[in-house]
Every structure is written in structure tokens, then in C-alpha cells.
Amino acid sequence: MTRALTFLLLLVSSAALHGQAPRKVLDSGAGEGPAWNPALGLLFSGAGRITRLAPDGSVHVYRDPSGGSNGLLWDFEGRLIVCEAASRRVTRIEHDGSATVLAAAYEGKQFNSPNDLTLDSRGRIYFSDPRYGRRDGMEILDASGKTIEGVYRIDAPGQVTRVITHETGRPNGVLVSEGDRYLYVAANNNDNLGGERKLWRFDLRADGSIDAASRKLLFDWETSRGPDGLKRDTRGRLYVAGGLNRANRFESPEKHKGGVYILSPEGKLLRFVPIPNDEVTNVAFGGKDWKTLYITAGGTLWTLDVDTPGEAPLKHARPPLPPNTLTAAEKKQGWQLLFDGKSLAGWQGRPTFAPMSPGDWTVQDGAILCGGTKPSWLSTDASFGDFQLKLQFRGDASVNSGVFLRSQKEGQPHVTGYELQIWDYQPQGYLTGSLVGSVKAGPARVKGEVWNQFDITARGDRFTVLLNGAQALDAHDTKHASGVIGFQCQLNQRIAFRDVKLRRIER
């Protein structure tokens, strides 16, 4: 049987299965990243913004500007995760509309152009970081000086691990299978003759790393445009955007036309759905029964009714760990909870200025609460020298408080140790993330009435601080070597702290 006849039979079988051809629903604006939300409808990237196609068919601007958004994905708490290709970072849009930076650099180097992303059942984010077009300004290199176009995993804001370095060529679409068994990676080097245009599958370990030796080739687009975004249905079949309709300098359409390639779990081509617009970039399942396939292609948006529902990410989420809980990995790494979510055991309220009261510190709803009726501070009983400290805090946007580091139990804690500022309006410019009186932080803002995250490392004379995943401080100071951890309570200020975790660093 000739290749042309085989391809024609695939077209016929596809039409018979789905009952109708794909339908174009929008002529412009849909460049990439379709992501379905049952309440909002479909979001997609294009023309420098994120657009929403509502369930009633109306079209709205959702976010503009968008940082040059590409891949979009909803997490298990209904927050939008965005690959900001132009801004070279991954962000999360909170329910209040603010943005949390999840990943902006790896080992101090900017990413290339975050492209596509996927979640595992623990809520960990995997994203690809290729570079298309101009390649100057690529900062992430291997030991030999070769540029790296990798795949990375985000465990928490600012906590990024590379899981693929050179195991594929120019990764684009990524997908974790249900049950976290596999990581699929679409390699699409489309601006080099003979570039890799293949879909790979890797075994995914429980710790979120891949087994490189398990790499399996599922499908090869050969000289045509390679695979882009992909999704799976509930039978494990893969729906992959790829191929090309009109030749260009580096790609030819003869063997693999532009459209959606439906593959078996082992990579056998089952059906092909042609889409006439180049380039076919991504797909997403949606609709009330998850049986509508949305397809982005050359700025246009298409839909296709399918017989089997797609994997709905929210259905397969493991419940997130409650606050004040250590993961198995954290326990193995030596983290300890300084607050158990139930009592102030291991903590002591202290007057800020003698002989004032030790304050009104209480535990409410799994958090340490400062009521603000008396100025005071709360300290750990134990002292610490070098450590990593993670904690969450919540107050209004103008809250005035702080975290004390290496302070002594007697005396004023900001004098006997360091005060890490929580206040965006300090008159001398020691804003949130600063070491008050010592080092001023870069621009960082407290988000009001939501939980903010501090990630603090104190190693010798060096202090690094992340606020909501963005670096606020990287500084040196030699005044204090060891002491307690503490929280500040100012008069008429209410602030809550939770998820207080510490790991000692041995030198």
C-alpha cells in the first residue's frame, strides 16, 4: 500500500469516528496554549495577550499584557499557570489577579523562552524551555559551553530542578500521564535541516526525575514540522499537534501534513485530523463532557467533537498537603516543623521593650496569630546558626511586621540579631525582604490578605531571601552568627504565620 493511500484511509477513518470535520470558530488571536476551565471556558495565548472564549461563545481579553504568554494550564486550586516566553519566566495568576513568580532563573541564569507545561498528581509543574528564532542571549550552558534547551520541574515558587538536559533536542510540548507513569516530550527543532522532530516517552520516577535509559521513540515527523503541544484521552491515546501544509526553508509537507495526530499509547498512528492553517500548535480537551478538542493553528481556533473524553487534569489531583505538614522528601532532607499548627509549644512570647507584656499570640485555624493589642515578639526556644527557613505569612497590604533571625532572647531582637522586614512603606527604604539597618532589598511587594511565602537561607555571612518565588535579597553581613527565630507583633497590626519549616545547614 502506498504512503498516499494509507494517509487517505486515515483521513476517512477519522471522519467516520468523529462524525464531522473540525470547525473553525475564530479567525485570529489563538496562537497557542489552549486551556479549558469549566466555569470560564477556554483561555488561549496570542497577539501578546491571553484571551477567553466564554461558554456562550463571547470573546474577552483575559490578561493584557501577558509577558508574551505561550503555554497555559490550570492548577489544582484553579489558578492559571503561564509560560511567559517573552519575559522568560513561569508565573501563577492568583485568585485576586496578582501574579506569583514560580520560576525566573536556574542557577542564576535566565531561562530561554518557557514554552509548554504540565502537572503531575502532586501538583508539581514541568515546563519546557526551548529557544526558537534568534539564539543570542541564551544564558544556560553546560560544562562544555553548549546551550541547554531543557525541561524543568517546579516544586514550589523558586524551587526549580532540571529533569532533561540533552536527552532530547529542543523540547516543546510536555505531558505527564495519568498516574505519573510517563513524561512525554515533543522535540521540535524546526529551523535546522535534519533537526529532531520526534515524540519521546520517558519513565517518570516518584521523585519527579526521569529514567533517561527508558527513553522510547513514539513517532517521527521526519522532514516535516515536528510535534508541538499534546494531550491524552481517558483511553491513553495521544492527540499531538504537528505537521505542515506548506513547505518552508527547513520543512516539507510531503510526508506529514499539518493537523492533529492521534496515536496509540505505544505510538502507532491511529487517525489523522487535517487542519489547513499552519502552524498547528496545540490542543486541549474541554466542553461540559470533555469531549470537545480545541485546536490552535496559525492564530485560528478550531473545535472537534471526539468520542472519548480527554483526561481532565482536576480529576486526577491528589489532595494538596495541608499547611504545617512535611512531605516525605522534606523529612528525608532533614526539614523540621517549628510550628505544629495546634499549639505554641517550642515558642515563647516576649516583650519588645521591657517591662511590657509578652503580647497576645494565639493559634487560630492552624496559624500563629498576632492580635496587635500589645507590641511584642514571639521566639523559638531553640537557637540556630546556618539554616534554610520557609514560612508563610498573611496580613493586609500595609502590614508592618518582621521575622527575626539569629536574635538573642533578652534585649531588643532587631538589635541582638537581624530583622527581616515585612513592610512595604518603611520610611528609610528598608522595605519587605530587607535586613533592617543593614541591607536594603530589591523591589518586592506583600500581597494583601493572601498567604505570602518567604524562603530564607542564612549560611555564614550570606543571606538570600525569596518572596513569593522572586529574589528579594542576596547580601552579606557578619554581625550575628547564631540565635533564635522570631516574629514581630506591632501595636494595632494583625498578622498570621504558618507552615514554618527549618533545615539546619552543616558547614
Confidence of residue 447 (pLDDT cuts 50, 70, 90): confident
Is residue 47 in some structural domain?
yes
Please tell me whether residues 109 and 248 are part of one structural domain.
Answer: yes
Please tell me whether residues 127 and 274 are part of one structural domain.
Answer: yes
Confidence of residue 181 (pLDDT cuts 50, 70, 90): very high
Residue where a domain stops, chosen among 271, 287, 316: 316
Confidence of residue 356 (pLDDT cuts 50, 70, 90): low
Range 337-349 burial, b when 16+ CB lie within 10 A, else e: bbbebeeeeebeb
Please tell me whether residues 292 and 337 are part of one structural domain.
Answer: no
Please tell me whether residues 306 and 333 are part of one structural domain.
Answer: no
CB 102 within 8 A of CB 154: yes
CB 300 within 8 A of CB 277: yes
Q: What is the pLDDT of residue 39?
A: 85
Please tell me whether residues 303 and 356 are part of one structural domain.
Answer: no
Give the position of cell 550552558. 141
Domain of residue 275, CATH code: 2.120.10.30
Residue 95: pLDDT over 90: no
Is residue 444 in some structural domain?
yes
State how far the Cα of 457 lies from the Cα of 466, in Å rounded to an integer: 9
Taking residues 325-349, what's their average pLDDT? 91
Taking residues 141-168, what's their average pLDDT? 96
Residue 61: pLDDT over 80: yes
Is residue 336 in some structural domain?
yes
Is residue 83 in some structural domain?
yes
Please tell me whether residues 309 and 378 are part of one structural domain.
Answer: no
Q: What is the pLDDT of residue 98?
A: 82
Average per-residue pLDDT for the chain: 90
Query: What DSSP string describes 182-246?
Result: EEEEEEE--SSTT--EEEEEEEE-TTS-EEEEEEEEEEE-TTS-----EEEBTTS-EEEEE--SS
State how far the Cα of 116 lies from the Cα of 129, in Å rounded to an integer: 8
If DSSP codes are grouped into helix, strand and coil, which group holds residue 150?
A: coil
Please tell me whether residues 305 and 400 are part of one structural domain.
Answer: no
Structural domain harbouring 348 = 328-504
Residue 329: pLDDT over 80: no
Q: What is the pLDDT of residue 364?
A: 93
Domain of residue 342, CATH code: 2.60.120.560
State how far the Cα of 38 lies from the Cα of 261, in Å rounded to an integer: 25
Please tell me whether residues 292 and 354 are part of one structural domain.
Answer: no
Is residue 322 in some structural domain?
no
CB 90 within 8 A of CB 154: yes
Please tell me whether residues 309 and 345 are part of one structural domain.
Answer: no
Total domains present in the chain: 2
Please tell me whether residues 304 and 173 are part of one structural domain.
Answer: yes
CB 50 within 8 A of CB 57: no
CB 225 within 8 A of CB 188: yes
Please tell me whether residues 273 and 332 are part of one structural domain.
Answer: no
Confidence of residue 5 (pLDDT cuts 50, 70, 90): very low
Residue 64: pLDDT over 80: yes
Write out the three cell numbers for 472: 528579594
Confidence of residue 16 (pLDDT cuts 50, 70, 90): very low
Is residue 323 in some structural domain?
no
CB 390 within 8 A of CB 453: yes
Residue where a domain stops, chosen among 293, 316, 339: 316
Residue 18: pLDDT over 70: no
State how far the Cα of 341 lies from the Cα of 105, in Å rounded to an integer: 33
Of 24-28, 117-121, 275-279, 353-357, minimum mean pLDDT range: 353-357
Residue 333: pLDDT over 90: no
Please tell me whether residues 311 and 426 are part of one structural domain.
Answer: no
Is residue 352 in some structural domain?
yes
Is residue 152 in some structural domain?
yes
